[in-house]
Amino acid sequence: MRFAYKYQYFHICRTRWHNFFVYLFAKYAAQLKLIPTVTFDTPDEDLTEKENAMRHGCLVAEGWFARWYDLFLQYKPDILSLFAFDSHIENKVTSLLEASSKEGIIRLGVHIRRGDYATWNDGRFLYDDKQMINIIRQFILLHPNKRVVIYICGNDPKLNKQAYSEAFGQENVVFPQGNPGEDLCLLSHCDYLIGPPSTFTLVASMYRNTPLYWIKDINKPLQEDCFDYFDNLFRNII
């Protein structure tokens, strides 16, 4: 429901019933138990009773384990239509992609997640610039006959941009510095995506079935078969 007010980058935010007032009504009606709430917060539980309840009337479904993989794939085209980016976001991203629009160029989208990743999973997926540069270098070696243009998005204001520019050439590295919607849209237009496990890159890969490498072991050599696709990865969210 937060797309009604917090993430207003998509077509769904302009639809009739998707607005801040409906969001407030649903939120507080659920809290006051005027609308039933079904919570999915336990892995591997028997969902028969809860799913039966969802077939009758209006209710709120919540929880990290509220997942219906087969239904998602069935309605994926409709979901993509609802979450199409607004035209002004697409237009801005198009201008950023002009430098890599020629044939023979690979667009590599790199997501660098810091901040909360310092503590999430005990910092297991917090990678420094040296480690990320090494991964990018391995990707480039997989494509010796192609020019790779690297689009780096992330949430670290102290990112060492100079290190990336020196490693790969200033003309081959782009730091978009957009808002979350613009960064997500840009990543969705890349040919490959690399980053730590994150739903951000997962959603970016959804739009065009972009190959995505979730770095779970920073010391694992990067190979072409390290990349996977949305329809499989979204079933294995950490």
pLDDT digits (tens, 9 = 90+) for 19-58: 888 889 888 998 998 988 989 998 888 888 888 888 877 8
Residue 20 corresponds to which tokens in the numbers above? 């801040």
pLDDT digits (tens, 9 = 90+) for 163-200: 999 999 999 999 998 999 999 999 999 999 999 999 99
Burial 8-40 (b: 16+ CB within 10 A, else e): ebbebbeeeebeeeebeebeeebeeeebeebeb
Q: Does residue 1 surpass a pLDDT of 80? A: no
The identity of residue 128, as a single letter, is: D
| Cα pseudo-dihedral 192, 215, 7, 31, rounded to 10 | 140
Give CATH for domain 87-233: 3.40.50.11350
Rg (CA), the chain: 20
Other C-beta atoms within 10 Å of 130: how many?
10
Beta-strand relationship, 173-174 and 192-195: unpaired
Nearest to 157 by CA among 110, 126, 112: 112
pLDDT digits (tens, 9 = 90+) for 98-148: 878 888 999 999 999 999 999 999 999 999 999 999 999 999 999 999 999
Q: Does residue 78 surpass a pLDDT of 90? A: yes
**pLDDT grade for 84, boundaries at 50, 70 and 90:** very high
**Sequence ranges of the domains in the chain:** 2-82, 87-233
Nearest to 24 by CA among 1, 58, 8: 1
Residue 122 corresponds to which tokens in the numbers above? 């005990």
pLDDT digits (tens, 9 = 90+) for 195-228: 999 999 999 999 999 999 999 999 999 999 999 9
**pLDDT grade for 17, boundaries at 50, 70 and 90:** confident
